[in-house]
Amino acid sequence: MTSDQPGITGLLWRWRMGERDSDDALARELYPMLYDIARIQVRRHPAVTLSTTELLHETYLRISEQRQVGWRNRGHFLSVAATVARRVLIDYLRERSAQKRGAGVHMVNLGELQESEVPLVSDQQDWLSLDQALTRLQDLDPDAARVVELRLFAGLEVAEIAQVCECSESTIARQWRFARAWLAEQLEVDPPT
């Protein structure tokens, strides 16, 4: 890859190579994408007292430490950003849970999701349990786990995930169905019809 690559891919390359002017340009390009990811997570987690901006900034800080990542393109960035946002959120929930020592379980409020988006967990499913199950799914089927992360943590639709993963929408839909069923079994909940 060379520094004359267009858009985010080129900026990611320039940033990785340490070009001074790339930091600000990259931040301007990435901010809207990261903001959308953070906004989706804050909306879906009513027990989380982090603001969208706080989640955005922590995610950006963790990503900015990843200079050695061989960023391939916008899709690769979105995939990593979804994983990082998930990690930030789960770390926050774990820390908060440790501070309160049993003062309440952090629950997922999936009531705002459309039926097609529901990841086979009940409205009160614990996000920490979902994270543990998703980690096990990563070992079993990394592609399906990536689809779940992009769907739940980046808020992407099937068509967008297909673009990011560079495969067909039918493949993504199949992986999503498998992941939903597998997670439902792991979390011992009934899959939605």
Number of domains in the chain: 2
Final residue belonging to a domain, choices 67, 101, 135: 101
> What CA–CA distances, in Å, run from 69 to 9, 121, 136, 149?
12, 33, 24, 19
Long-range contacts of 187-192 (CB under 8 A, 24+ apart): 187/120, 187/121, 187/125, 187/129, 187/130, 187/133, 189/120, 189/121, 189/122, 189/125, 191/120, 192/115, 192/118, 192/120
99 pLDDT more than 70: no
96 & 160 share domain: no
Q: Which two tokens stand for residue 20?
A: 């001074």
Domain that holds residue 93: 1-101
Q: Give this prediction's pTM.
A: 0.65
Return the bridge partners of 100, or none. none
Distance CA 134, CA 142 (A): 10
- Stretch 84-101: mean pLDDT: 76
Are residues 123 and 93 part of one domain? no
Answer yes or no: do 84 and 7 share one domain: yes
* Under 8 Å between Cβ of 120 and 183: yes
d(CA 85, CA 112): 19
Q: What is the pLDDT of residues 66-83, one digit of tens each?
A: 767 777 777 878 888 888
Indicate if 76 and 162 belong to the same structural domain.
no
CA angle 112, 141, 139 (to 5 degrees): 100
The torsion angles phi and psi of 9, rounded to 5 degrees, stand at -60, -45
Q: Where does residue 188 fall: left (phi above 0), alpha (psi -120 to 50 degrees), or beta otherwise? A: left
Among the listed ranges 21-25, 49-53, 141-145, which one has the minimum average pLDDT value?
Answer: 21-25
Residues 74, 164 share a domain: no
Query: What separation, in Å, do the N-terminal and C-terminal C-alpha atoms of the chain show?
Result: 46
- Classify the C-alpha dihedral 93-132-121-177 as positive or negative: positive
Mean pLDDT of 152-177: 89
For residue 98, the model assigns a pLDDT of 65
Mean pLDDT across 25-46: 82
Q: What is d(CA 4, CA 28) in angstroms, rounded to the nearest whole number?
A: 18
